[in-house]
């Protein structure tokens, strides 16, 4: 699982949500920036999803998506 495009866009576009999610994870700004850039699995933790849900009203199914399998050669 990873955060959906909508979830990443929310974190990138809303400083208050970004800060609240960062605090929920207990990480610094540099770590949070890396998590968002990589769409790290850390962003799928319950505390982060709760922050985004409460601020946006989106559901987990709207915030999460399955990771795509890499193409086989």
Q: Which residues pair with 64 in a beta bridge?
A: 3
Residues 6+ apart with CB under 8 A from 33: none
What's the confidence (pLDDT) of residue 61?
94
Q: Quote the percentage of the chain above a pLDDT of 70.
A: 93
What's the confidence (pLDDT) of residue 6?
96
* Residues 49, 58: Cα–Cα separation, whole Å: 9
The low-confidence residues of the chain, meaning pLDDT below 50, are none
What's the confidence (pLDDT) of residue 2?
95
For the segment 31-44, what is each residue's pLDDT rounded down to a tens digit? 999 999 999 999 99
Residues 6+ apart with CB under 8 A from 55: 10, 14, 16, 17, 20
């Amino acid at each position: 699982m990873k955060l959906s495009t909508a979830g990443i866009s929310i974190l990138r576009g809303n400083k208050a949500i970004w800060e609240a999610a960062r605090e929920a994870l207990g990480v610094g700004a540099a770590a949070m920036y890396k998590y968002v850039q990589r769409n790290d699995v850390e962003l799928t933790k319950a505390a982060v999803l709760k922050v985004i849900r409460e601020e946006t009203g989106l559901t987990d199914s709207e915030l999460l998506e399955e990771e795509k399998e890499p193409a086989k050669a």
